[in-house]
């Protein structure tokens, strides 16, 4: 049976996109970017520091990476906790060894519960972004706007007090949003967010409360996605990161095509409860050693965005 003609009637039709959140553009047609010291790739190492409640509700969907067994799922709960007590310190040692400047995305609830961890991050002077309240406090389509508004405001305001930082970045738990999330972030002084992964470079994202910057944090290269979702080996994960680094450098030099050369971003989202394990930490060090031997600038998310914006 043929579809009714009204099936193809959208409230908004435009070139490239059926919305006006951001302007249609091709990477190959963007203005070339030069990173400091003429580096070809900016390395953004993002570390989610997460709290998964033992009694998670899973509303409106099961929490990715969360508890999977009937309550109390102590096996998975304690594994996530392992990352915040053990794995993270292996990360910090590796970062210092290879001169990495990481960014930490922390759940506000975890910042409240683990002052020892928060103090360690604060003493290092690394950038902290808000990762929502906790991993079971989800943002989703159809969510009551008052409920979400209170959730966003409370998460950001509390984290600013706890960290003594003017929190400018955001990544939603499970990277999930409602139709109102961008407006609420802009309203609460957030400058960039990392939920959308439809580009390799930052772009302006329009809201009714002012513009945000979308900072694409690769999901395809995330450790949890590669190892847990795709069930690839640790060696395959290392190979994929090296391949991505090599390609981006060649693309930045214009060796992959005749258009669109200029600086690129290699964004690595890594979880201490995964790569901080004793059988995996050497793989992370192998990646960092290789990437830092290339034409790469390591910087926080805000520093990368500031350099990008200054050239637009």
Residues 127, 101: Cα–Cα separation, whole Å = 9
Average pLDDT on 196-220 reads 95
Predicted confidence (pLDDT) at residue 241 exceeds the cutoff of 80: yes
By mean pLDDT, which of 61-75, 115-129, 253-267 is the weakest? 253-267
DSSP 6: G
pLDDT of residue 1: 62
CATH of the domain at 284: 3.20.20.370
Please say if the pLDDT value at position 175 is more than 70. yes
8 in a structural domain: no
Q: Is 55 a domain residue? A: yes
Task: Give the pLDDT confidence of 151-163 residue by residue, as tens digits.
Answer: 999 999 999 999 9
> Residue 3: inside a domain, yes or no?
no
Residue 85 lies in a domain: yes
Give the per-residue pLDDT at 14.
Answer: 67
Are the C-beta atoms of residues 107 and 133 closer than 8 Å to each other?
yes
Calculate mean pLDDT across residues 227-244: 97
DSSP 47-92: EEE----TT---SSSPPTTS--SSSP-HHHHHHHHHIIIIIHHHHH
Q: Is residue 19 part of a domain?
A: no
Q: Look at residue 270 and tell me if it is in a domain.
A: yes
Res. 25 pLDDT band, cuts 50 70 90: confident
Give me the mean pLDDT over the 111-126 stretch.
Answer: 97
Pick the most confident of 12-16, 236-240, 255-259.
236-240
- Asked if the structure places residue 26 within a domain, the reply is no
Total tally of structural domains belonging to the chain: 1
Output the CA–CA distances (angstroms, integers) from residue 77 to 84, 87, 236, in the order listed: 11, 15, 27
pLDDT computed for residue 260 by the predictor? 64
Q: Which domain holds residue 135?
A: 32-310
- Residue 14 falls inside a structural domain: no
């Amino acid at each position: 049976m043929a579809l009714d003609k009204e099936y193809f009637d959208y409230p908004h039709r435009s070139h490239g996109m059926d919305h006006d959140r951001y302007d249609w553009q091709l990477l190959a047609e963007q203005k070339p970017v030069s990173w400091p010291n003429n580096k070809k790739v900016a390395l953004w190492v993002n570390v989610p520091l997460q709290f998964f409640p033992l009694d998670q509700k899973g509303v409106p969907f099961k929490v990715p990476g969360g508890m999977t067994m009937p309550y109390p799922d102590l096996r998975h709960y304690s594994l996530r906790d392992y990352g915040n007590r053990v794995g993270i310190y292996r990360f910090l040692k590796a970062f210092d060894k290879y001169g990495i400047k990481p960014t930490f995305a922390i759940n506000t609830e975890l910042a409240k519960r683990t002052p020892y961890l928060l103090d360690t991050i604060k003493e290092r002077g690394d950038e902290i972004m808000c990762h929502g309240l906790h991993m079971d406090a989800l943002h989703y389509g159809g969510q009551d706007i008052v409920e979400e508004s209170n959730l966003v405001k409370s998460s950001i305001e509390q984290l600013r007090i706890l960290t003594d930082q003017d929190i400018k970045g955001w990544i939603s738990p499970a990277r999930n949003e409602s139709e109102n999330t961008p407006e609420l972030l802009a309203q609460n002084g957030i400058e960039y967010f990392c939920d959308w992964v439809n580009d390799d470079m930052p772009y302006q994202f329009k809201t009714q409360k002012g513009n945000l910057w979308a900072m694409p944090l690769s999901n395809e290269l995330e450790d949890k996605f590669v190892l847990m979702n795709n069930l690839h080996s640790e060696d395959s994960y290392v190979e994929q990161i090296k391949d991505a680094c090599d390609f981006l450098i060649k693309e930045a030099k214009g060796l992959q095509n005749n258009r669109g050369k200029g600086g690129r971003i290699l964004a690595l989202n890594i979880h201490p409860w995964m790569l901080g394990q004793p059988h995996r930490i050497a793989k992370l060090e192998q990646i960092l050693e290789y990437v830092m031997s290339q034409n790469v600038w390591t910087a926080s998310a805000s520093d990368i965005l500031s350099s990008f914006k200054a050239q637009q």
